[in-house]
Amino acid sequence: MLQYLHMAAKDLETIVALCKRRGFLFPGSEIYGGFGGTWDYGPLGVELKRNIKEAWWNDMVHRRDDVVGLDAAIMMNPKVWEASGHVESFADPLVECKTCHERIRADQEDVIKLHEEGHRTNKEEVSWTAPRNFNLLVKAFVGVVEEAERPIYLRGEITQGVYVNFRNVVDSVHPKIPFGIAQVGKAFRNEITPGNFTFRSREFEQMELQYFVKPDEAEGKKWFAYWKQARMDWYVSLGMGKEHLRFREHAPDERAHYAKEAWDIEYHSPFGWKEFEGIHHRADWDLSRHQKFSGKDLTYTDQESGEQYTPWGIETSGGADRATLFFLLDAYDEEGGGDDRRVVLRLHPRIAPLKVAIFPLLANKPALIEKAQSIYKTLKHEFVTAWDARGNIGKRYRSQDEIGTPFCVTVDFDTLSDNTVTMRDRDTMKQERIKIDELVRYLHDRLS
């Protein structure tokens, strides 16, 4: 068994440096000094995040008969956010430093303590204003001319797009309860103190399911328990270590205004146990509120019994950006030391940005280059494939290990005579000879 140093819960700065160096993530608007709480996904990062979202969509929608998809607009009628309770309740307590006027969330005691220590080091007194609520919705303006602009909100969550389209979905595809509506999309929050890399951002992406059940306590408990465990199992199935995951129940005084019951899935990160998916029992809060504010009928009628009722909603809400960060943290390993040190991202093959890399053994041999490029073109039709002819073969292996590529194929002089190549496994570093005409099937079997 390989012996390695697991870094998942130890060193965030190592991951930040790796992400910048290898093209996973860059600070937003970096050439202009950045823009706090925003991040740009580079060539490898966009593939990783896209693979996570696609794996979620395939498992939550394509492989189920009881879930359909939706992609609602980011800009919505402002009344949506009044009905949902966000205009009134979507707020964080905020305190302001009377010395430097920096604003910090009142519940972030560790940040407040560090702030105070900084002032005391400079021999400055520090005091705070009384806490006051700070609404997290991001306000925008639309209109043809400036004088006619009206304020709207960029959505603070993607959930409401499902609820305002509940009637449209029921009338168009006629789902039978229990059923779900899934959505992946951007959301925006006016975060007071974004930080911990991409964990707390002002612009982020969510992967959500709203699952509708009969308004019955037994049904609600059954489906809540089902989805709670299913979501935990999904992260484990994609390689996230069980020992770094846990459930945490929300106390009654910390639940969101819509929640009848709420649990978080938390990851043991370098900055503590942090939530990246929530499972919420929303009961009939959303449908009832939107029915009241819109005046439209948002009840469900059972086609067999004729029974009419307002369904309860069981929500699973995961952060695509937070999941991407935690998959990176969990996958990062170091093996050996000194000149033999190997950095490897042990990403599950389903979500790895690149699936296979093709190398000619030597970059100055035309026959090897031609053969390797022929294989590269064939595999590129089936998999996200990399080409690398730089430096020696050992450095190329190390480079692909560091970005999480599961397999490397090397074309050598034996290839020219027997049409076999060397296949190298990222995790074990085991090498075996594979016939060229068996490569596609071999990779499909191991990447599926």
Rounded CA separation 87/152 (Å) = 11
Find all residues with CB under 8 Å of 78, minimum gap 6, and list them: 87, 151, 152, 153
Q: Are the CB atoms for 103 and 95 separated by under 8 Å?
A: yes
The predicted model scores a pTM of: 0.88
How does DSSP classify residue 294? H
Tokens (6 digits) for 95? 């305190």
Tokens (6 digits) for 84? 């949902």
Closest CA to 351 of 207, 197, 240: 240
* Secondary structure (DSSP) of 208-224: EEEEEE-S-HHHHHHHH
Rounded CA separation 54/351 (Å) = 9
How does DSSP classify residue 4? -
- Residue 120's identity, in one-letter code, is R
Rounded CA separation 327/310 (Å) = 38
What domains are there in the chain, each with its CATH number?
A: 5-75+155-330 (3.30.930.10), 92-132 (no CATH), 354-447 (3.40.50.800)
Rounded CA separation 117/401 (Å) = 42
Go through 355-380 and write b for each residue having 16 or more CB atoms within 10 A of its CB, e for each that does not.
bbbbbbbebebeebeebbeebbeebe
101 φψ region: left (φ > 0), alpha (ψ -120 to 50), beta (else): left
Go through 50-79 and write b for each residue having 16 or more CB atoms within 10 A of its CB, e for each that does not.
bbbbebbbebbbeeeeebeebebeeebeee
pLDDT given for residue 129 in this prediction: 85
Per-residue pLDDT of the chain (448 residues; tens, 9 = 90+): 233 334 433 589 999 999 999 999 999 999 999 999 999 999 999 999 999 999 999 999 999 999 999 999 999 999 999 898 887 766 667 787 888 877 777 777 777 888 888 888 888 888 888 887 767 888 888 876 666 678 889 999 999 999 999 999 999 999 999 999 999 999 999 887 788 999 999 999 999 999 999 999 999 999 999 999 999 999 999 999 999 999 999 998 888 888 889 999 999 999 999 999 999 999 999 999 999 999 999 999 998 889 999 999 999 999 999 999 999 999 999 998 888 899 999 999 999 999 999 999 998 999 999 999 999 999 999 999 999 999 899 999 999 999 999 999 999 999 999 999 999 999 999 999 999 999 999 999 999 8
Q: Are the CB atoms for 149 and 142 separated by under 8 Å?
A: yes
**Angle CA 60–158–319, to nearest 5:** 60
Residue with tokens 């129940």: 249
Rounded CA separation 219/228 (Å) = 14
Q: Are the CB atoms for 287 and 166 separated by under 8 Å?
A: yes
Rounded CA separation 389/161 (Å) = 48
pLDDT given for residue 397 in this prediction: 96
Residue with tokens 């925006």: 188
Rounded CA separation 25/47 (Å) = 11
Which helix (H) or strand (E) is 366 found in, with range?
A: helix 366-380
